[in-house]
Structure 1
Amino acid sequence: MGASDMVMSTHQDGQTTQTAPWLSAELAANIESDAALRALLAPVHRWLNTLSVRNHSPHTLTAYFAGLNQLALFLRGKRLTWTRCDKRQLAQHISQRLDEDKLALASVQQELSAIRHFYGWLIEEDLARINPTTGYQLKRSPRPLPSIADVDLLTQLLDQQIPDTPEQARLWLRDKAMFELLYSSGLRVGELVALDMADVDLSDLRVRVTGKGNKTRLVPLGAKAAEAMTRYLQHRNLWVEQMDSALFISEKLGTRLSTRAVQQRLKVAATRAGIAQNMYPHLLRHCFASHMLSGSGDLRAVQEMLGHSDISTTQIYTHVDFAKLTQVYDRAHPRATHTQNDENPT
């Protein structure tokens, strides 16, 4: 049975209904009772099916379907097909999503991206000739700067004293290894919990990371992180159940740790270290990026290590350390506001 057979069911009218994870039971029932909508969504299901075969994540497929389903409802209401949707119709739909549905600009951007990619596929399949999204752009809102913790705060977190109780002491060895790795190598929390034992090379100090879009990258492993990892692995080998390949596992369950567990453990560690700032795993990734750029200035290298496909995503970290830049400017520029120890004029 092929992939398309696994997710499609055929009706008497020749149309198909999606039963894949991107379609909820409630939505499937609504589509089932609406022949016009079902006809509009048939090519959408085919497209998503091809993406599923290419290992796109269920989250991405669900988001794509949600955006295209909204446009399909709009087109059905106007008795239009995909090929009859031009820039004017698209602009009207987007305006409705923003003004009437009160959707956030970022969410509409995601829907527009799904529409753009879908029309690209329609054109490849000779099902359409024009992509209405070509040249169409939403005005982007300024991207907020990421939160950053300074080096002293991270030292306070990572170099805190080991807990007194044996149970908490064992957990801290694992937690410290996780937090050191997040900061050392700039991993996303999802990438961290997905790591297997074979992904870490302690001799060559590097980590193989599988990021967004199942893209793999090699990132350096800092000496502090490697040291923490070595201490943790002695306990991990005692906790593991059923030969689980996961690098970071639950002491109680002996299986792969969840992202939620990492988030909770970081908050516990921050509280124990007396840190008032809100600590979360992605903050350590932000700190890695900001501190690496501040120390090296090598934007391309940091982009590679973070796994950013677009360098503009990395560039946002160049704005974070502006206070330090102004200090350098004040010290160095002859016309800055700093005071100079000039000799008194005679």
Structure 2
Amino acid sequence: MTRTAVVDASTALARFDRYLRHQRGLSENTVRAYHGDVAHLVAFVAGPDGDADTVLPKVTLTDLRAWLADMSTSGLSRTTMARRGAAARTFYAWAVKVGIAQANPAARLASARPARTLPVVVSEADVVSMLELARTRCDDGDLLHLRDWAVAELLYATGMRVGELAGANIGDLDFDERLIRVRGKGNKERMVPFGVPAATAVKSWLENGRPALVAPHTDDALMLGRRGKRADQRQLRDAIHHLCREAEIPDVAPHALRHSIATHLLTEGTDLRSVQEVLGHSSLNTTQRYTHVSTKRLRAAYALAHPRA
């Protein structure tokens, strides 16, 4: 019989975090989410008066099912429940390998499937309105308006995630080829093209806006805040929300621009695998959902190919 190492919950979770981060190469957001999910499981199984440090090796399939059943009545989304089930399966598969648990109670755990919702897409006309507003308001002397113009143009041009843009450096840009190196989930890198409008906006920011904000603590960050520090995701999201309101278009999160470029590319005839490369999806199934949003390409192909169209 395999001996189980006696490890308290906090130590086990710290080791699990390192495994996810360094061996699985998962993003910090995913590491934090999985950590919180397993911690939530510990608290549920231990109860208010139990010893949380002794729970993890003793969890059973019945405990896991009760945990998920309890969440199903608490108003959590199916997406969150599916992620928590995945976190439990990932944790116990790892825990058995490293000797923290003797058996994997999550091996036969079935969890909710994520909700299949259609992505929010901004129309091409609304995107143009927002980008034009971003450009014209740069005349007011506010240096951050130059940054926000560059942010909006780059997000729409490349389809990158807002966190990827926040982590981008000046050295990631190649203006000769109009490419930007993007570090995505799992620290995977991809090169994504951008067009002339985005290049114009970024050059204007780098030449006329960013230099005035540079401070002794400033690093190579592409996007800066008003005090010269790397702009964080919240600041970039706020910039897009402000632009939407000022342009009087539906207020959307930056991720909607990512959905939009995918849909607009497919609508104009770009093949699915090219869109997959632009967005950095590891699975084509993830990109596939954008084919349900726009039917223009499907109708065109049908009209050309079907003998009785």
**TM-score category by the smaller chain?**
0.7 to 0.9
Cα distance change on mapping 1:144 and 1:239 into 2, 3 Å:
same
1:312 aligns with 2:285: yes
CA shift for structure 1 position 145: 0.7
Post-superposition CA distance 1:168-191 (Å, at most 9, x none)? 4x5443322221111111111111
- Aligned partner letter, 1:163: R
Q: Corresponding residue for 1:46?
A: 15
Distance 2:112 2:6 in 1: 38
Q: Which moved more, 1:74-83 or 1:113-122?
A: 74-83
Question: Would you say the 8 A contact 1:41–1:72 is kept in 2?
Answer: no
Question: Would you say the 8 A contact 2:81–2:112 is kept in 1?
Answer: no
- Aligned partner letter, 2:122: A
Q: Corresponding residue for 1:64?
A: 34
Q: Corresponding residue for 1:145?
A: 118
CA shift for structure 1 position 297: 4.2
1:180 aligns with 2:150: no
Greater relative CO, 1 or 2 (CA 8 Å, sep 6+)? 2
Q: Corresponding residue for 1:261?
A: 235
Cα distance change on mapping 1:152 and 1:188 into 2, 3 Å:
same
Distance 1:262 1:42 in 2: 35
Q: Corresponding residue for 1:136?
A: 109
Cα distance change on mapping 1:174 and 1:89 into 2, 3 Å:
closer
Q: Corresponding residue for 1:231?
A: 204
Q: Which moved more, 1:132-141 or 1:77-86?
A: 77-86
Cα distance change on mapping 1:51 and 1:139 into 2, 3 Å:
closer
| Cα RMSD after superposing both structures | 3.1
Distance 1:254 1:125 in 2: 44
Question: Would you say the 8 A contact 1:303–1:314 is kept in 2?
Answer: yes
What TM-score does the superposition give when structure 2 sets the normalisation length? 0.82
Q: Corresponding residue for 2:224?
A: 249
Query: Helix, strand or coil for the counterpart of 1:124?
Result: helix
Q: How many percent identity over aligned positions?
A: 33
CA shift for structure 1 position 83: 5.1
Query: Helix, strand or coil for the counterpart of 1:163?
Result: helix
Post-superposition CA distance 1:6-56 (Å, at most 9, x none)? xxxxxxxx987xxxxxxxxxxxxxxxxxxxxxx455433332244455575
Question: Would you say the 8 A contact 1:15–1:42 is kept in 2?
Answer: no
Cα distance change on mapping 1:223 and 1:50 into 2, 3 Å:
same
Question: Would you say the 8 A contact 1:149–1:283 is kept in 2?
Answer: yes
CA shift for structure 1 position 335: 5.2
What TM-score does the superposition give when structure 1 sets the normalisation length? 0.74
- Aligned partner letter, 2:237: Q
